[in-house]
């Protein structure tokens, strides 16, 4: 791309290459400032947005932000690009694409139009358009899109929002994990997955926790999937040893180098997907991957440089991770948006914006997108910011959110949503749990005919026996 | 007559906030206030500036020499949080100019992400470290503000010390806001990777690790690193100290 110039308020700004335009046009965030690729001023950011809006979408097929010869994620994105699906928008600019997406949102067949378009869009095109969309645009388009996936529950149905129940414990204590799981189930959570971040990556611990959850599932006939979020290689080994693996977990990022930092390659992930599917443990679908991502992961691994050795902005790199993710056809994928810290997303405003961007970009690319609505104690954010983001994501049709007891993850040391927050968003927006899970709750008298989760006395609960989990 | 809380037994198995009850679908008032209070304490621990004068006076009483005060290139707390790179670099090493060179161990007490941890436990932990390292030449202690661990590499190099031990405030959680971490690096110089350090975390008696236990592990790591010729991931703690709180 030749050097592009744009004048704003009497000053002319020059942008050298696609990487620079993308970064300078990105709404302000601390991670891009840390990487040294953010616009120097609001006027420069506005100038870059004009330039970006004028770029033909075909630019993104001709010019790469991360060179294909250095990066297997770029090669995968290019190999999987569907020219036929792209044809209807091939003549558009980035600005035109925004208008088109908003037009489509007003039509009756919006969801299927987006779904047909998805394979024709590259992650970089989607990242680019998101940068010139306001928060309401990100909500509106994502809200009109639909992406479904299934294993033992169905994820992504309209009018529903699922939850990952995250019963983490600092020492992986079985009784403590069982107690937190019981608390979440009584609050109607766990329909996306009951997923434990283990305190260690020991295969033995992972296997023990898998058995704990699988025994619980079978004993109480819960339509659910479990996951212990160990490294993908640990999980694949456990599959070979016959452990009850429902979902295969892995953190992924948008560059080959960042994925190397996570200890994964594309072929490794494809093989793990096959290994998970070979068990055929799903009942309503065979999506077996659970993926996590987050803006800033490439920069934190010093794996964020692109074409010309220039730093690529963190939101574009995040969206490239979704390009990799969709090849794996996951059941669940979420951005851990406020987890990484204020050096990447400084405050509530930046976290909210990033959460909406990630959700929109993932969903438009065809992913069952969820969000870990969260923050750390050194970020300028609090529960009020999380309330705003959760409400917006509910309106935007997020597939699922993460919930921990009282919003306090005592293992990872950060704040996510509480089980109560999940009930709040379902109540205020009339959303219901995943249908299979809702039917199970209703069967036990824990939900009413509208899917509302009823208050249950612990000692009268049919699930009380879960509390002795891990203690025969 | 009060009804026993049926969750009481389950709470003994986890610190997680389970069985909070419901006000409609939402958290009861008491639970909302408890959470906000814990978050407030954690935020204050991050944002309250370190009382350098008071901590200097405490450190001076240890008999290790007059403490030298440094600050990083991050001028404000906002800069510090946004720019970890600036927190890793000293604004100036000039204050170290008069110090004697070639100590075995340089000690750096840094505010990190919890000034409260440093105010509550910093001097006492330095004292315990000096005692456990008895017989080694210890450089005058350095007190560093807006500092991250790698700032110690500059200090260690400037003092020509064989080891630098950085005692630093850890990121506050909702239940613990005053925890210190100890990072040991052999042959410190700018550019050392995190994998070349050894870390002892969760020092906050009485609930966390005690000063003496942390100091014993650090002293054992110094012995081990001298044998191995380097600190970092290849060096394991063989002091036998139980690290779990």
CATH topology (fold) of A4-144? Annexin V; domain 1 (1.10.220)
Which residues of chain B make contact with A382, given a CB cutoff of 8 A? Answer: 39
**Smallest Cβ distance to A183: which of B18, B38, B84?**
B18
- Spatial neighbors of A160 by CB under 8 A, at least 6 apart, are A431, A432, A433, A434, A435
Tell which residue, A356, A441, A370, A442, has the closest CA to residue A192. A370
Contact A195, A164 (CB under 8 A): yes
In the DSSP assignment, the letter for residue A456 is: -
At A216 the pLDDT is 97
Q: Does residue B174 belong to any structural domain of this protein?
A: yes
Rounded mean pLDDT, A296-318:
96
Mutate to test the interface with A, among B8, B14, B39, B175 (most CBs of A within 10 A): B14
Instruction: Please give, one letter per residue, the 3-state secondary structure of chain B.
Output: CCCCCCCHHHHCCCCCCCCCCCECCECCHHHHHHHHHHHHHHHHHHHCCCCHHHHHHHHHCCCCCCCEEEEECCCCHHHHHHCHHHHCCECCCHHHCCCCCCCCEEEEEECCCCHHHHHHHHHHHHHHHHHHCCCCCECCCEEEECCCCCHHHHHHHHCCCCEEEEEEECCCCCCCCCCEEEEEEECCCCCCCHHHEEEEEEECCCCCECHHHHHHHHHHHHHHHHHHCCCCCCCCCCCCCCCCC
* Chain A nearest-CA residue for B19: A183
Q: How far apart are CA A293 and CA B185, in angstroms?
A: 32
Q: Is B25 on the interface with A (CB under 8 A)?
A: yes
Place of tokens 């329909």: A191
Q: How far apart are CA A165 and CA A211, in angstroms?
A: 17
Count of other CB atoms within 10 angstroms of residue A451: 21
* Chain B nearest-CA residue for A188: B25
Q: Give the three-state DSSP class for A437.
A: helix
At B17 the pLDDT is 97
ipTM of the complex: 0.94
**B74-87 core/surface letters (b: 16 or more CB in 10 A; e: else):** beebeebbbbbebb
In the DSSP assignment, the letter for residue B170 is: P
At A471 the pLDDT is 46
Say whether A149-467 and A4-144 share the same fold: no
Distance from CA of A85 to the nearest CA of B (A): 41
At B240 the pLDDT is 57
| A111-141 tens-digit pLDDT | 999 999 999 999 999 999 999 999 999 999 9
Count of other CB atoms within 10 angstroms of residue A461: 18
Which residues of chain A make contact with B41, given a CB cutoff of 8 A? Answer: none
Strands B105-110 and B163-169: parallel
Q: Give the three-state DSSP class for A263.
A: coil
Q: Do B31 and A382 touch (CB under 8 A)?
A: no
Average pLDDT, chain A: 96
Whether the per-residue pLDDT at A359 is higher than 80: the answer is yes
Rounded mean pLDDT, A270-289:
98
**Domain A149-467 sits in CATH 3.40.47.10:** no
Contact A210, A456 (CB under 8 A): no
Q: Is B64 on the interface with A (CB under 8 A)?
A: no
Rounded mean pLDDT, A422-449:
97
| CATH number of the domain enclosing B118 | 3.40.50.11240
Q: Does residue B134 belong to any structural domain of this protein?
A: yes
Strands A11-15 and A149-150: unpaired
Q: Do B22 and A170 touch (CB under 8 A)?
A: no
Number of domains, chain B: 1
Q: Does residue B11 belong to any structural domain of this protein?
A: no
Distance from CA of B50 to the nearest CA of A (A): 16
Q: How far apart are CA A23 and CA A36, in angstroms?
A: 10
Whether the per-residue pLDDT at B238 is higher than 80: the answer is no
Q: Do B244 and A171 touch (CB under 8 A)?
A: yes
- Spatial neighbors of B192 by CB under 8 A, at least 6 apart, are B150, B153, B185
Q: Give residue B83's pLDDT band: very low, low, confident or very high (50, 70, 90).
A: very high
Q: Give residue B241's pLDDT band: very low, low, confident or very high (50, 70, 90).
A: low
Contact A405, A181 (CB under 8 A): no
Which tokens belong to B124? 């006492």
At B244 the pLDDT is 36
| B134-183 tens-digit pLDDT | 999 999 999 999 999 999 999 999 999 999 999 999 999 898 889 999 99
**Smallest Cβ distance to B17: which of A406, A413, A458?**
A406
Tell which residue, A48, A71, A50, A49, has the closest CA to residue A123. A71
Contact B142, B108 (CB under 8 A): yes
Which residues of chain A make contact with B207, given a CB cutoff of 8 A? Answer: none
**Smallest Cβ distance to B82: which of A30, A383, A467?**
A30
Average pLDDT, chain B: 93
Which residues of chain B make contact with A415, given a CB cutoff of 8 A? Answer: 39, 174
The domain containing residue B95 runs over which residues?
47-228
Q: Does residue B12 belong to any structural domain of this protein?
A: no
Q: Does residue B30 belong to any structural domain of this protein?
A: no
Whether the per-residue pLDDT at A347 is higher than 70: the answer is yes
**Smallest Cβ distance to B14: which of A169, A342, A426?**
A169
* Chain B nearest-CA residue for A345: B82
Distance from CA of A283 to the nearest CA of B (A): 31
Whether the per-residue pLDDT at A221 is higher than 50: the answer is yes
**Smallest Cβ distance to A405: which of B6, B16, B45?**
B16
Q: Does residue B39 belong to any structural domain of this protein?
A: no
Which tokens belong to B228? 């191995």
Q: How far apart are CA A434 and CA A446, in angstroms?
A: 14
User: Of A2-11, A216-225, A297-306, where does mean pLDDT reach its minimum?
Assistant: A2-11
Q: Give residue B6's pLDDT band: very low, low, confident or very high (50, 70, 90).
A: confident
Q: Is B83 on the interface with A (CB under 8 A)?
A: yes
Domain range list for chain A: 4-144, 149-467
At A202 the pLDDT is 84
Q: Is B43 on the interface with A (CB under 8 A)?
A: yes
Q: How far apart are CA A205 and CA A199, in angstroms?
A: 9
């Amino acid at each position: 791309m030749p050097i592009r110039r744009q004048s704003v308020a009497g000053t002319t700004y020059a942008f050298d290459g696609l990487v620079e335009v993308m970064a300078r046009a990105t709404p302000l965030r601390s991670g891009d400032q840390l990487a040294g690729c953010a616009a120097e001023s609001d006027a420069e950011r506005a100038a870059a947005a004009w330039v970006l809006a004028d770029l033909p979408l075909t630019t993104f097929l001709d010019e790469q932000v991360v060179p294909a010869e250095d990066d297997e994620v770029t090669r995968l994105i290019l190999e999987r690009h569907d020219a036929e699906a792209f044809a209807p928008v091939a003549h558009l600019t980035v600005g035109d694409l925004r208008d088109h997406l908003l037009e489509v949102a007003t039509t009756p067949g919006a969801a299927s139009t987006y779904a047909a378009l998805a394979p024709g869009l590259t992650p970089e095109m989607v990242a680019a358009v998101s940068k010139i969309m306001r928060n309401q645009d990100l909500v509106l388009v994502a809200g009109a899109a639909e992406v479904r996936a299934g294993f033992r529950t169905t994820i992504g149905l309209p009018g529903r929002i699922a939850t990952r129940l995250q019963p983490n414990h600092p020492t992986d204590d079985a009784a403590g994990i069982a107690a937190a799981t019981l608390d979440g189930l009584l609050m109607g959570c766990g329909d996306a997955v009951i997923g434990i971040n283990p305190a260690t990556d020991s295969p033995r611990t992972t296997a023990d926790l898998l058995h704990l959850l699988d025994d619980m599932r079978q004993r109480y006939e819960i339509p659910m999937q479990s996951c212990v979020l160990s490294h993908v290689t640990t999980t694949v080994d456990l599959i070979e040893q016959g452990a009850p693996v429902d979902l295969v977990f892995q953190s992924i990022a948008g560059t080959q180098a960042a994925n190397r930092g996570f200890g994964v390659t594309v072929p490794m992930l494809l093989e793990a997907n096959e290994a998970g599917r070979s068990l055929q443990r799903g009942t309503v679908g065979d999506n077996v991957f659970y993926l996590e991502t987050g803006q800033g992961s490439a920069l934190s691994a010093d794996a964020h440089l692109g074409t010309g050795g220039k730093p690529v902005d963190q939101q574009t790199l995040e969206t490239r991770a979704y390009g990799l993710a969709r090849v794996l056809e996951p059941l669940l994928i979420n951005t851990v948006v406020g987890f990484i810290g204020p050096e990447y997303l400084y405050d509530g405003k930046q976290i909210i914006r990033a959460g909406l961007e990630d959700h929109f970009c993932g969903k438009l690319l065809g992913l069952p997108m969820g969000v870990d609505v969260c923050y750390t104690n050194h970020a300028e954010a609090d529960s009020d910011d999380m309330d705003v983001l959760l409400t917006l994501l509910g309106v935007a049709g997020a597939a699922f959110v993460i919930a921990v007891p009282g919003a306090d993850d005592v293992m990872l040391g950060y704040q996510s949503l509480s089980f109560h927050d999940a009930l709040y968003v379902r109540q205020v927006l009339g959303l219901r749990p995943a249908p299979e899970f809702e039917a199970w709750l209703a069967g036990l008298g824990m939900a009413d005919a509208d899917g509302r989760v009823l208050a249950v006395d612990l000692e009268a609960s049919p699930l009380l026996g879960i509390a002795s989990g891990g203690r025969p | 007559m009060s009804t026993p809380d049926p969750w009481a037994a389950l709470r003994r198995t986890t610190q997680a906030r389970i069985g909070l009850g419901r006000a409609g679908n939402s958290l009861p008032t008491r639970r909302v206030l408890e959470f906000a209070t814990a978050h407030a304490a954690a935020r204050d621990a991050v944002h309250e500036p370190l009382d350098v004068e008071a901590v200097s006076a405490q450190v001076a009483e240890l008999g290790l020499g007059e403490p030298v005060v440094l600050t990083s290139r991050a001028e404000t707390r906002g800069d510090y949080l946004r720019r970890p790179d600036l927190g890793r670099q000293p604004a100036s090493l000039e204050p170290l100019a008069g110090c004697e060179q070639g100590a075995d161990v340089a000690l750096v007490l840094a505010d990190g992400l919890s000034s409260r941890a440093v105010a509550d436990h910093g001097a006492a932990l330095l004292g315990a470290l000096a005692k456990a390292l008895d017989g080694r030449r210890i450089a005058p202690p350095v007190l560093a503000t807006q500092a991250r661990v790698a700032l110690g590499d500059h200090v260690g190099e400037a003092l020509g010390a064989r080891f630098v031990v950085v005692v630093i405030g850890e990121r506050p959680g909702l239940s613990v806001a005053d925890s210190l971490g100890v990072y040991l690096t052999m042959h410190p110089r700018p550019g050392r990777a995190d994998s070349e350090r050894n870390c002892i975390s969760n020092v906050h008696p009485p609930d966390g690790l005690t000063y003496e236990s942390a100091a014993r592990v650090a002293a054992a790591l110094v012995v081990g690193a001298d044998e191995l010729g380097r600190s970092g991931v290849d060096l394991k703690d063989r002091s036998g100290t139980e690290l779990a709180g």
